Amino acid sequence: MCGIVAMFSKTEPIREDELQRATRTLDHRGPDGHGLWLSPARRVGLGHTRLSIIDLQTGDQPLANEDGTVHAVVNGELYDFVRLRRELEGRGHRFKTRSDSEILLHLYEDLGANALHQLRGEFALALWDDAAQVLFAARDRFGIKPLYYARHNDTLYLASEIKALLAAGVPARWDHESLLQVTQMFCFHQDRTLFEGIYQVPPGHYLWATRNQVRLIRYWDFDYPRAEAIGREPRDHAAEFRAVFDEAVRLRMHADVPVGCYLSGGLDSCATLGLAARHASAPIKAFTISFDHEDYDERAIAQEMAAHAGVDFHPIEMRRETLADHFSEALWHSETMFINAHGVAKFMLSRAVRAAGIKVVLTGEGADEILAGYPWFRRDMLLHAPPTSGRGDVHRELAILQEKNKVLDGLLIAGTEVPLLGSLGRILGFVPSWLEPFAATFSTFAQVFSPSFAEEVRGRDTYRDFLAGLDVAGQLTGRDVINQSMYTWSKIILPNYILNVLGDRMEMANSVEGRVPFLDHHVVEVARRLPISQKIHDMTEKYVLREAVRPVITDTVYRRQKHPFLAPPALLDPRSRLFELVQDTLRGPALAALPFFAPAQVRALLDSVASLETPARAAFDAPLMLILSACLLQQRFGMSAGG
């Protein structure tokens, strides 16, 4: 994994010191190497910081093809590259390195933008085609690797992180529309950021820039089958899924450095570890977060799994004081807002992993998104799926679901009607359950908006705008409600929160590469064809995965329901430093510097929350953490008001 920068100027020559400054901002993503390339006319520049994983000796970037007409920088890992390299060499291409990244140059020479369909892995890339005078940039299918862009002073800038764009001179201003989206959906739309004028290349898209035009083009999507076409042919689904998932794990064990594994007590990481241990030539190091609150601590289950797999178990103690002390630093790396301190915990976990000498870890992210792991998908099945003969009383099943997910109180089921979602319901025919509690929380934010921001956003329909950015007719219409719900979640929460706050940004902040076998596109393309009963079977989530990996996991894990990775809420313990951080920041001058919130109303909210019993306080944790995040982002980036 690495950090990349690209600049394409329409008029003025690119300054080398500007390119250097932007690239150096990403040194944490690649401390092992640093390279720049400027075109002869200095209208194009590429920068790269390297984390050496494969081909430790000759894999430096930027890369160039045989005649120097194509130059590229790549962040990520391209699996199955050995086979592709042999095919390319058979067609006459000559390689200068032994790295996986170099296949991009030669695939592009043969196929142009269609080369993306040959790439398997996690990646973001930028490539200059001198003959065509085109800057080509792309992001992997799911958004595992970040890629941002901005146009400023007749120059197009791209980088792995926003801070690199700011270092190049792009101004830091709040994007008011994105802030509103966060208050209504806990996340912004797939192409946006919190920074005005700075955007993301959406997952599964590429950017094609000429001197006079910048276009974004989709090259991949989930393409769930229509409801009537699901699961028509009989087959052993567990065997099929295990085969493709095992291959994805095996490919991600390829490295010239040791590979470790993140391990919780959940099915996803345990399945990954169980298969990885069978492919390893020596015991794998498995790293587990241990929280100082029993409702959130999975150490005992993880330790049992580590013993079962025969791996080296490394628990990392995570106290709330530690989360408070490193909250601002983790936030700076993420460049987004937190709903919980779990991102800080992943940040500190990755730091411990790197201190243990590990550069590469396998993670379990993505399984819930492709196999309906979250409780709200089961709620959708109860409320919106066609009834089946085996289904019990819906109200009773909903009550059981709620009771089994107490840790998600306030994040699972909205307590009131949410009229804001009416437009979404009219377009889809139902409202995905994951959106309801987020939308219900908006009432908390509406109470504390500043008068000017409240007037600015009055009547805005974020949900309709969200659907306007999706191919509703091509990707949602006629699909099963569970697949629709997973699709909408995977277009906003997966890339913008899960794979950022719990993935790439917290790992690469500490120069650790996270590999995500559940988001291998071959795995996803098998999962999308599965009957819904293989995803949710008698209200058991991720059924096909449980059956596929049962031989390599413990019975405890096999029988355990989904337990979301959350840190203990900040508001649970008024004596903790994390609670003090919320109180001190939101009662201090940092809040007044924001254009979005009224300090007096926020203080009143804090006073009312402090008087509540502990369980009721926890329901306010997410909105207050978001406001805290906004204050700290303002401090770290010096963002102006924007508009």
Token pair 């169980």: residue: 274
268, 565 in Cβ contact below 8 A? no
Q: Whose structure tokens read 């071959």?
A: 522
Cis-peptide into 62, omega within 30 deg? yes
Contacts within 8 Å (CB) and 24+ apart, 209-214 = 209/8, 209/134, 209/135, 209/136, 209/137, 209/156, 210/133, 210/134, 210/135, 211/10, 211/133, 214/151, 214/156
Contacts 24+ apart (CB under 8 A), 615-620: 615/409, 617/569, 617/571, 617/572, 618/409, 618/410, 618/569, 618/571, 618/572, 619/409, 619/410, 620/444, 620/571
Coarse DSSP helix, strand, coil percentages of the chain, rounded to the nearest 5 percent: 45, 15, 35
Active-site residue, 270 included: no
Non-local CB neighbours of 271 within 8 Å, separated by 6+ positions: 245, 364, 367, 545, 548, 549, 552, 553
CB contact at 8 A, 553 and 267: yes
CB 341 within 8 A of CB 498: no
- C-alpha dihedral, 413 to 418 to 424 to 425, nearest 10°: 80
Bridge partners (DSSP) of residue 575 are: none
Q: Which amino acid is at 488?
A: T
Pick from 482, 429, 433: nearest CA to 230:
482
Give which of 300, 358, 292, 297 is closest to 323, Cα–Cα.
Answer: 292
Q: Which two tokens stand for residue 147?
A: 């890629």
* Residues 5/23, Cβ–Cβ less than 8 Å: yes
Residue of 2, 187, 261, 270 with catalytic role: 2
Give the position of tokens 């031989």.
551
Nearest-5° Cα angle at 239, 551 to 483: 110
Q: Which amino acid is at 9?
A: S
Crossing angle of helices 320-334 and 342-355, rounded to 10°: 90
SS3 labels along 570-615: CCCCCCCHHHHHHHHHHCCHHHHCCCCECHHHHHHHHHHHHCCCHH
The Cα 635–Cα 605 span in angstroms is: 22
> In 274-320, at which residue ranges do the beta strands (DSSP E only) sit?
285-291, 312-318
* CA distance linking residue 442 with residue 440, whole number of Å: 5
Instruction: Round to whole Å and give the CA distance between 108 and 71.
Output: 11
Q: How many CB atoms lie within 10 A of CB 534?
A: 23
The residues annotated with a catalytic role in the active site are 2
